Amino acid sequence: MKPVRVGLLGLGTVGGGTVTVLSRNSEEIARRAGRRIMLSHVAARNLERADELNLTNVRLTEDAFAVTNDPEVDVVVELMGGYEPARTVILKAIENGKHVVTANKALIALHGNEVFAAAQGKGVMVAFEAAVAGGIPVIKAVREGLSGNRIEWVAGIINGTGNFILSEMREKRRGFADVLAEAQRLGYAEADPTFDVEGVDAAHKLTILAATAFGIPLQFERVYTEGISQIAEEDISHAEELGYRIKHLGIARRTADGVELRVHPALIPYRRLIANVDGVMNAVLIKGDAVGPTLYYGAGAGAEPTASAVVADLVDVVRTLTSDPENRVPHLAFQPDALTDLRVLPMEEVKTAYYLRLQAADRPGVLADVASILGDRGISIEAVVQKEPLPDVQFVPLILLTHRVSERQMNEAIARIEDLESITGSVKRIRVEHLNA
């Protein structure tokens, strides 16, 4: 049978890994796909990389459109990253009737609705397993393995850089800036780490997970996003004392009032499996009504782990090349005409428990004043830790854990507490997620 000819766009970390995996495992891949998958075209800004990868019998170019417009190419694999020209290139490939595989989470999160509509119109596939959690096949799990379930919630550590930083801060009692500098030296963080440490990368991935879990349109702009740059060593220590660990989570939860879409640091009970995922590893916990909680763990980035997902998508595309487009697995798990635009809750309506750290004057009555403000807003206190004062120190840390309450109620309470003469500085607030099954 005629081999499937693949045009690869990008020879960076993931592109190089994809070349390696396709070459090393070519026989096994062909046995799984039913046809040989042949890398025939490559477009890259740095073609010297092609020599390093020993690419022979491959048509090389610096022009991505030369690949998407070539009638000999059956499938386009987009590994350039970024919004443009990736969006235009993918849409051109679709217009030309080519199937697409991409690892571009930013593109799918922001422009996926447009891309999938175009693909639907042309009867081609757009596969994007590698866009979420690297080598972990979590999109396939949600889209196919859990298709008999009503997904109730998804919670994931879906950015390895942020997880590495929090893990190092906890294990070695180091500050955020120090660990971030090390992450940059090791290549885990970019020179500009904003997307990783401020939660943008995780929000891209959560957007995609939520769409496939709940059958809603992709809506990145509605994800509440908060980073980890304000997490202090002392917060990590206090959390440990209380039986929790701090993780940077992406959470999508279906409620009676709508869907929660949020990325932020959270305290998790240390006995939860996901609380023990450290370093650059990723993990996604998914709760279905029939199956219960399921956990997916593995490498969330890297050349070959991500290439594993890219090649798996290629195999899926090849397997379905001759099938009726109407009978393929839908891009976002649900049939396109069955997506529902469920209301996304504003953060003020979301209910969670809270960890609060205050700098309180070391004198009687302060805790009572704080408890009164919380009580007036229906906020119950679960635990209190008051640190012993150091000599000649006027203010001491006061740590509170609360029961679940709306963000609006907590915002009002924090504003009142910060107005107290006995409290100095701002109140540090971190949400608490028990992730009960």
Tell which residue, 279, 183, 289, 290, has the closest CA to residue 229.
Answer: 183
State the amino acid at position 248 in one-letter form: H
Tokens of 248: 């940077």
Is 205 assigned a catalytic role?
Answer: yes
Question: Beta strand 59-61 with 37-43: parallel, antiparallel or unpaired?
Answer: parallel
* 64 burial via Cβ count (<10 Å: 0-12, 13-18, 19+): buried
Tell which residue, 402, 305, 235, 230, has the closest CA to residue 16.
Answer: 305
Tokens of 417: 């507490």
Q: Answer yes or no: are the C-beta atoms of 249 and 199 closer than 8 Å.
A: no
> 302 phi and psi, to 5 degrees?
105, 160
Tell which residue, 42, 44, 67, has the closest CA to residue 57.
Answer: 42
CA angle at residue 157 from 142 to 220, to 5 degrees?
A: 70
Task: Name the active-site residue from 205, 247, 351, 428.
Answer: 205
- Give 37's strand partners: 4
Classified as helix, coil or strand, 40 is strand
Residues, the chain: 437
Q: CA 288, CA 305: separation in Å to the nearest integer?
A: 26
Please enumerate in sequence order all residues whose Cβ is within 8 A of that of 115, keeping only pairs 6 or more positions apart, or say none. Answer: 87, 90, 91, 94, 107, 108, 126
Q: Answer yes or no: are the C-beta atoms of 153 and 254 closer than 8 Å.
A: yes
- Distance from the first to the final alpha carbon of the chain: 48
Catalytic positions, written as ranges: 205
